Amino acid sequence: MNRALTFPWRSDKVHPSDPSFDMNGLQTILSFDVEEHDRIEAAAHLQVDPALKAHYAQRLTPSTIWLLDQLDNFGIKATFFVVGQIARTHPRLVKDIAQRGHEVGSHSWDHRRVHLHTRDSFRQDLRQSRDAIEQVTGQRVQGYRAPTFSIVTQNAWALDLLVEEGFAYDSSIFPVRHDRYGVPNAPRAPFRAAGFEHEILEIPPATLRFWGLNLPVGGGGYFRLFPLALLRAALRQIATGLKPTVAMLYFHPWEFDPQQERLPLGRLSSFRTYVGIGRSRARLVQLMTGLRYVRAAEVAKHLDQHWNVLPAYAVAREPLANEDIEHAPDDVLSAGWEGQPRLSEASVS
């Protein structure tokens, strides 16, 4: 693949021999995927009653406002990945998010998973979502998160289109094994994600490395199911064992709305979707204390200055079984690595 590329949003001011990424300790990103509850992947096969859809559309505002109020209480600035259609149907809410000082990124136009797109339709989706959000907020959309973390090896061309459309970073690649998504061999810390033609900064969701596996404890149903101690252990692990020291956490407003009506899901899907929802508000408040939170765009801006020393990973190729990014030497991860990617062995919406 051609690595001699130009990136209009990057200036490459730092020489590869510069020191490693000094993040001044662990930088934690609180992110929220803003969508109505009936858009979740577990409900993709359902014909949701129009009255129930209207109910979820109505519940989106109070659940998101609750989050905004908590963030204000703790003085935290977060990143909200918003479905573009929400900017049309709930413009006042999206404008409120931006006016309170939070970053607003794209979560697609209509929450279609990337594998359902052609290249042309995905490009149109990116443009339509970005334009709708920017018209409401008056701010540039810098980040993207695919519905259901649906950028995987098979559709890594999506990374090329994100670069071509001017996005500064992506947060769609989950380095785990899962029945719906995941690139299990991808790095656990921010890295240069390579498609077929271009590279983009990838900020993956936080994971806990345990017995040779990456546990997806960074948000969603895992946050509600597992003890909070596991997430805190992941944050300590990231702070002491990964470079750059960045932890991306992810949630959805509907996860903090125990009063909403429930979807008619099967037993397993219902468990995965609603487990722990009654205690999610208290858990999030606990999580908001004692950590340093930043917006994803701030992390992207910082790492942009150290582009040449970020580890690279070719999402667009199949992994080699004997390669391992988890045990790469510190000097590789901190002092400039221009070689080929190294790979590890190896209810979300």
**Inside any domain, residue 342:** no
50 contacts: CB under 8 Å, gap ≥ 6 = none
Cβ count near 62 (within 10 Å): 15
| Any domain includes 256 | yes
3-state secondary structure 64-88: HHHHHHHHHHHCCCCEEEECHHHHH
3-state SS assignment for residue 261 = coil
Q: What is residue 130's predicted lDDT score, i.e. its pLDDT?
A: 98
Cα dihedral: 158, 161, 165, 168 (round 10) = 60
287 located within any domain: yes
Separation of alpha carbons 185 and 194, rounded Å: 14
Of 219, 245, 213, nearest in space to 231 by CA: 219
Q: Give me 186's structure tokens.
A: 């991808």
Give alpha helix (H) positions in the chain. 50-74, 84-89, 91-99, 119-137, 157-164, 220-225, 228-241, 267-274, 280-287, 296-304, 330-334
Q: Does residue 3 fall inside a structural domain?
A: no
Question: Is 131 part of a structural domain of the chain?
Answer: yes
Looking at residue 41, what DSSP letter applies? G
Give residue 24's pLDDT: 66
What are residue 159's phi and psi, to 5 degrees? -65, -40
Tens place of pLDDT for every residue, the chain, 349 residues? 433 333 333 333 333 333 444 556 899 999 999 999 999 988 888 899 999 999 999 999 999 999 999 999 999 999 999 999 999 999 999 999 999 999 999 999 999 999 999 999 999 999 999 999 999 999 999 999 999 999 998 899 999 999 999 999 999 999 987 666 668 889 999 999 999 999 999 999 999 998 888 888 999 888 998 889 999 999 999 999 999 999 999 999 999 999 999 999 999 889 989 999 999 999 999 999 888 999 999 999 999 999 999 999 999 864 444 344 333 333 323 322 222 232 222 244 4
Range of the domain at 162: 27-334
Length of the chain: 349
Number of folded domains that form the chain: 1
At residue 41, the pLDDT reads 85
Question: Is position 345 within any domain?
Answer: no
Residue 267 lies in a domain: yes
Structural tokens at position 198: 């271009």
Provide CB contacts within 8 A for 97, sequence distance 6+: 34, 64, 68, 80, 82, 104, 137
pTM value is 0.85
**CATH number for the domain including 31?**
3.20.20.370
In a domain, 69, yes or no: yes
Cβ atoms of 184 and 177 within 8 Å: the answer is yes
CB 316 within 8 A of CB 288: no
Look up residue 331 and give its two tokens.
């000097």
Give the HSE-up count for residue 283: Cα atoms under 13 Å, Cβ half-sphere: 23
Closest to 81 in 3D by CA, of 292, 206, 248: 248
